[in-house]
Amino acid sequence: MLDALPDAVIMFDSCGHIEGSNRAMRDLLDQADIKKGVSDLFDFFQGLEKSLRVDLTYLLPGISRVIQRIQNPFFYLHQDGEGEQVRALEFHAYAAPAPDKATLLMIRDVSAKVQQERERADCFAVAAHEIRSPLAAISGYIQLLQLETPPTARTNKIYTQLHEKVRGVDVLLNDLARLNRLEYEAGDGKEWREADLRAVLRLSLRAFHDQRHRLRLELPSHGLWARVDMVPLQVGLRNALENALKYSAPDTMVTVRLQVGEPGWACIEVLDQGPGIDPLYKEKVFDKFFRLPGQQVQGSGLGLSILRSVLRHHGGRVYFKERPGPGAHLVMELVLLPSAAYIP
């Protein structure tokens, strides 16, 4: 039955030993046979690293967490190559429901789909450029009208609203362009670096010093080092904080906390004292353009979607956690460097 599946599939038991695989997986790894019960997770990933040139920094800890039932499911998108030679592989790991202790790993080749999406993103980039030109002209005409027309309270209000609408469209275009780059452009590795997450957070929060809210940054005394794509991660972190500030009343406390999470993982939390999120929408808020029912705060509905793409780009995840009392509790998890001495 497994051999009939077009996707590459392999199953592990609770100890990480291989229970079975299909022909597509053996072809992918260029192995005539994967011995059941003898080979283990480590041997499999050594073969994966050799045949597919996959970086195990995120894959091995993530799938290990599924096997240990710490996380379920797990997703990772691997891309390599350039131009029309780009190869994209989706890794999906699922833990079977109890009492079954098996874990299924599926590898799906989505190169054609990613190429189509990249072409769509290129079309959007051209369209966004064409839209920005008339937007700039409209903004200029509004300023000319302000200079030539005697100002009144009513006209000033109208001009202010027009400027806000133009800025809102420009922000929306920037957000969409950023989301397209994160989701559809293959990473070339040039911007990835090893960084102390404490420094990344300090740098990301510089833009918020003049906020009317009280910001509290809680950092560990020791460094937490991870391999990060610096610019997208800073954008994601700023989106997380902007979201918390947007829905919090002035002069309330917003806390950003960095700490060690599960073994091998860093945990970044953002806690606010706003209205919180109904459990019904805790997953839905990460969808593109989703707005909570009855929400009056201005926004494009893309901030959290961009944040999720950034975390997936890093092999991590983001979610809202239940918390006692008012406010929302956002959790972002990132993989720590495996060589760090502080990992238990």
* DSSP helix/strand/coil, 296: coil
Residue 266: which pLDDT band, with cuts at 50, 70 and 90? very high
165 and 255, same domain (yes or no) = no
For residue range 78-133, what is the model confidence (pLDDT) as tens digits? Answer: 877 766 677 888 899 999 988 888 999 999 988 887 777 777 666 766 776 677 77
In a domain, 124, yes or no: yes
Predicted pLDDT of residue 188: 44
Which of 59-63, 119-123, 208-212 is modeled with the greatest confidence? 59-63
Residues 95-103: contacts with CB under 8 Å, at least 24 apart: 95/66, 95/67, 95/69, 101/13, 101/14, 102/11, 102/12, 102/13, 102/14, 102/19, 103/11, 103/12, 103/13, 103/14, 103/63, 103/66, 103/67
Calpha distance 262→259 (Å, rounded)? 10
Q: What is the CATH number of the domain that holds 273?
A: 3.30.565.10
Structure tokens at 141: 């005409």
| C-alpha torsion angle, residues 73, 52, 310, 225 (rounded to 10) | 100
171 and 232, same domain (yes or no) = no
In a domain, 340, yes or no: no
54 and 121, same domain (yes or no) = no
Mean residue pLDDT of the chain comes to 80
In a domain, 210, yes or no: yes
259 and 208, same domain (yes or no) = yes
Residue 189: which pLDDT band, with cuts at 50, 70 and 90? very low
16 and 71, same domain (yes or no) = yes
201 and 286, same domain (yes or no) = yes
Name the residue type at position 245.
L
19 and 83, same domain (yes or no) = yes
Q: What is the mean pLDDT of residues 275-283?
A: 84
Lowest mean pLDDT among 45-54, 69-78, 249-258: 45-54
In a domain, 255, yes or no: yes
Calpha distance 259→238 (Å, rounded)? 18
Instruction: Confirm if 5 and 24 have CB atoms less than 8 A apart.
Output: yes
Predicted pLDDT of residue 190: 52
Q: Would you say residue 204 has pLDDT above 60?
A: yes
Predicted pLDDT of residue 219: 94
Q: What is the mean pLDDT of residues 251-258?
A: 89
204 and 131, same domain (yes or no) = no
Q: How far is CA 26 from the centre of its chain?
A: 31
pLDDT greater at residue 152 or residue 122: 152
> HEC profile for 116-132?
HHHHHHHHHHHHHHHHH
Calpha distance 266→61 (Å, rounded)? 12
Distances (CA, A) of 35 to 8, 43, 44: 16, 11, 10
Whole-number percent of the chain with pLDDT over 90? 15
201 and 326, same domain (yes or no) = yes
Q: What is the CATH number of the domain that holds 29?
A: 3.30.450.20
234 and 146, same domain (yes or no) = no
Q: What is the sign, positive or negative, of the torsion defined by CA atoms of 176, 297, 249, 161?
A: positive
In a domain, 344, yes or no: no
Calpha distance 121→183 (Å, rounded)? 9
In a domain, 245, yes or no: yes
Residue 300: which pLDDT band, with cuts at 50, 70 and 90? low
276 and 144, same domain (yes or no) = no
Full domain range(s) for residue 92: 2-109
Domain end: 152, 184, 216, which one? 184
In a domain, 101, yes or no: yes
Calpha distance 242→257 (Å, rounded)? 15
| C-alpha torsion angle, residues 250, 169, 129, 178 (rounded to 10) | 40
In a domain, 343, yes or no: no
With CA atoms as reference, report the closest residue to 313 among 174, 191, 206. Answer: 191
Predicted pLDDT of residue 185: 53
For residue range 316-330, what is the model confidence (pLDDT) as tens digits? Answer: 889 998 877 778 999
Structure tokens at 290: 């989703």
Q: Is the peptide bond before 99 cis (omega within 30 degrees of 0)?
A: yes
Domain count, the chain: 3
Structure tokens at 109: 């080749």
Is pTM beyond 0.75 here? no
Domain end: 85, 109, 133, which one? 109
Q: What is the mean pLDDT of residues 7-24?
A: 88
Query: Using only C-alpha atoms, what is the Rg of the chain?
Result: 23
Residue 78, beta-bridge partner list: 89
226 and 275, same domain (yes or no) = yes
